[in-house]
């Protein structure tokens, strides 16, 4: 079986080679733009005129006659840039992209040799037509461990990772601060790592009127930083005198928040909940958030009204709340209040 495999090498060209590369990339950009302009002119004159690679490629020798400097550029990359234009038009007509645009200097300057190149891996070099052999600068895996170059490359990778981590931290902090400042009580799903990707959360004001959907949150960032997100919420709520309650995630996405019916069939799509029993229709995340909030209120009522707590813990599901309440309450000023009876 034949397998196509792409490899990327970072080349280490010398000064003359760098200048030649810039020149060739410029020539390719020029040919691409000239061909696009020519195509547009033809189309304006006759709006049935279709793009044809052959027609345009046949103009190349003529353009080279007119412009001496074009002759210096290798022919194949010039043809390849016309191929790129052809692909741009094909994608445009297939409604995958916008109409082809003129290329600007400095925006992904490139050119392509479709053949006649060689790779010599044991010598770390690549052969390109017009250039000859050029060295390339290998990745960490190829470097001798603990050598100076290995350390440099390692430092670069570490830097990149810490940049990504900082972006994530920053987003988490902004999000948790906003939520904490606007809500006295926050109810979250007590997510396990295995179902972290579900990430359905509910936030609420103390009175519970405004169940907020987590719109505007960067979901992918939160998915990866779920535990950090929760920790930040907890300590920020502690600072501000609010609280965080974690409730079990069971059935929050399948239960109808209107009539309480639990059914897999309530979720015909990922985005929507349609209750099979009462016909209630709503956004699935919003529905889950309402359920989480309701569960949070049940827990809250449990704790404040100790006399009633036995009723709440009689059911299996609510017994589970009781266990987790301790975690939620541990952030409050009086952590002992009401916990013992619930745990009993």
Binding site for Zn ion (CB under 5 A): 256, 258-259, 261, 275, 277-278, 280
Closer residue to Zn ion (CB): 157 or 278: 278
Find out whether 287 and 257 touch, Cβ atoms under 8 Å: yes
Q: How far is the CB of 270 from Zn ion (least distance, A)?
A: 19
Give the torsion through C-alpha atoms of 260, 264, 265, 271, to 10 deg. 90
Q: How far is the CB of 330 from Zn ion (least distance, A)?
A: 35
Q: How far is the CB of 250 from Zn ion (least distance, A)?
A: 17
**CB-count exposure of residue 104 (10 Å: 0-12, 13-18, 19+):** exposed
Of 314, 300, 295, 306, the C-alpha closest to 341 is 306
Beta strands per DSSP E along the chain: 11-12, 118-120, 125-128, 132-136, 185-189, 243-247, 272-274, 281-283
User: Measured between alpha carbons, how far is 129 from 120 in angstroms, rounded to an integer?
Assistant: 15
Q: How many CB atoms lie within 10 A of CB 185?
A: 20
Residue 48 contacts by C-beta under 8 Å, 6 or more apart in sequence? none
Closer residue to Zn ion (CB): 20 or 200: 200
Q: How far is the CB of 255 from Zn ion (least distance, A)?
A: 9
Closer residue to Zn ion (CB): 172 or 200: 200
Closer residue to Zn ion (CB): 256 or 299: 256
Closer residue to Zn ion (CB): 41 or 281: 281
Q: How far is the CB of 276 from Zn ion (least distance, A)?
A: 8
């Amino acid at each position: 079986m034949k397998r196509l495999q792409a490899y990327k090498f970072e080349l280490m060209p010398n000064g003359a080679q760098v200048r030649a590369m810039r020149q060739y990339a410029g020539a390719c950009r020029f040919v691409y733009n000239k061909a696009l302009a020519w195509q547009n002119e033809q189309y304006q004159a006759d709006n049935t005129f279709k793009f044809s690679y052959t027609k345009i490629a046949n103009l190349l020798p003529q353009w080279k006659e007119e412009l001496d400097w074009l002759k210096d550029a290798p022919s194949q990359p010039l043809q390849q840039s016309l191929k790129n234009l052809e692909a741009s038009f094909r994608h445009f007509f297939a409604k995958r992209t916008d109409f082809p645009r003129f290329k600007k200097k400095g925006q992904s300057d490139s050119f392509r040799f479709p053949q006649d190149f060689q790779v010599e891996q044991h010598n770390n070099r690549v052969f390109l037509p017009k250039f000859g052999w050029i060295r390339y600068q290998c990745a960490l895996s190829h470097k001798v461990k603990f050598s100076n170059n290995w350390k440099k490359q390692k430092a670069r990778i570490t830097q990149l990772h810490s940049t990504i981590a900082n972006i994530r931290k920053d987003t988490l902090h902004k999000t948790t601060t906003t939520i904490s400042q606007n809500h006295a009580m926050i109810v979250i799903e007590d997510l396990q790592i295995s179902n972290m990707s579900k990430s359905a959360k509910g936030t609420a004001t103390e009175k519970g009127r405004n169940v907020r959907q987590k719109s505007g949150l960067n979901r992918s960032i939160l998915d990866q930083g779920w535990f950090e997100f929760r920790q930040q919420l907890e300590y920020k709520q502690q600072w501000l005198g609010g609280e965080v309650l974690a409730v079990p995630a069971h059935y929050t996405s399948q239960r109808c928040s209107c009539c309480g019916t639990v059914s897999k069939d309530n979720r015909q799509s990922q985005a929507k909940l349609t209750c099979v029993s009462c016909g209630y229709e709503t956004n699935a995340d919003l529905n889950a958030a309402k359920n989480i909030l309701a569960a949070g209120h049940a827990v809250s009522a449990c704790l404040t009204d100790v006399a009633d707590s036995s009723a709440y813990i009689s059911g299996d599901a609510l017994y589970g709340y009781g266990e987790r309440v301790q975690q939620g309450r541990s952030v409050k000023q009086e952590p002992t209040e009401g916990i013992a009876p619930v745990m009993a």
